[in-house]
Amino acid sequence: MVQREAPGAQVLDNARAGAAFKKLIDPFRGELHAHCYRMLGSFHDAEDAVQETLVRAWRGLERLDDSGSIRPWLYKIATNRCLTMIERRGRRELPIDLGPGVLLTEAMWLEPYPDENLRGREGDPAASFAARERIELAFVAALQYLPASQRSVLILREVLGFSAVEVAGLLAVTVASVNSSLQRARKTLGRRTHDVSQQEALRALGDDGISRLAEQYSAAWEAGDVNAIVSMLTEDAKYSMPPLAVWYQGHDDITAFLLEKPLAMRWRFLPTHANGQLAFGTYMWDDEKNVYVSGGLDVLTIWGDKIAEVVSFLTADLTAFGLPKELAN
């Protein structure tokens, strides 16, 4: 694994004095945030975890010697903070993952993640690609079903590239425990994720294919054309709308749902990206305001040239995805 150079005595001295702490930690802020999101399944919880991590890092700088690497140290603090938060808050869900007997009031919902937060280290395109691949909704949702210890091991080993020895040091466990946790995590994750990533699916579709699909999807919704919308879906496509627990699968169910309420309204769709996937800010007409107001963020899962799943995050803040809050007529 490529490590950044140790910060050096002078930089650490300045940081300890408060003059260069921001400069010292800024290169790691984005990747730490993505790490906390993978662990917690929540953009906002990740914000809290990163802030707490940086506060603890500031207070503990004297424990980092001049020859030490700051990146593993920051990940140790961040991971332990996330583990504590998981104990207190439980896991995040998507509606299609809810088991029988789960009450709506008990559910905590997975949140979408803005792609602009996914910055590969030092502008490396390969790192940016890997970051988007490892932030996909299906992957993050599957991570939530791993015990917290297995989740942390799998992310540190397979997403971030730390060695088994390094992870054992970060988590204060044995190497044998790390290897055992990783094996069990891989087995569980393999049952809950697809063989092909969204990054690979989108790359196969190509920029022209993605643009064409986005235009067709937007046009179908804005025209209220249910047949056109459904024709773009796979036969077993899923449609969900957290924080609503209900979800739909297959052409007939989705058609009936769309005709019942959504397509009785006027819509505008703006394309964006979330979790490394094609997404749309959705806007519905508000007669009282005389503008289109936010209707949520639709995150699409693409297989081939069809849409296999739509997760419509009804309460998403569209401004976090580079979109306006409202649209004029």
CA distance 95 to 242: 6
pLDDT at 68: 54
Q: What letter does residue 308 receive in the DSSP assignment? A: E
Phi, psi of 244 (to 5 degrees): -75, 140
Task: For the chain, give every residue range classified as CATH 3.10.450.50.
Answer: 205-327
For position 133, what pLDDT does the model report?
Answer: 65
Q: What is the pLDDT of residues 110-137, one digit of tens each?
A: 999 998 877 544 445 445 555 666 899 9
Q: Which pLDDT does position 45 carry in this prediction? A: 96
Q: Are 82 and 40 in contact (CB under 8 A)?
A: yes
At a CB cut-off of 8 Å and minimum separation 6, what does 327 contact?
268, 270, 283, 291, 292
Average pLDDT for consecutive 10-residue bins of the chain (329 residues)? 51 57 85 96 96 90 66 95 92 82 68 81 49 83 95 96 96 97 92 74 90 97 98 97 95 97 96 96 96 98 94 97 94
pLDDT score of 122: 42
- pLDDT at residue 120, rounded to an integer: 47
The whole-angstrom separation of Cα 159 and Cα 274 is 18
Topology classification of domain 205-327? Nuclear Transport Factor 2; Chain: A, (3.10.450)
User: CA-CA distance, 317 to 329, in Å (whole number)?
Assistant: 20
pLDDT tens, position by position, 156-197: 999 999 999 999 999 999 999 999 999 999 999 887 776 668
In this prediction the pTM is 0.88
- Give the integer Cα–Cα distance in Å for 74 and 51: 12
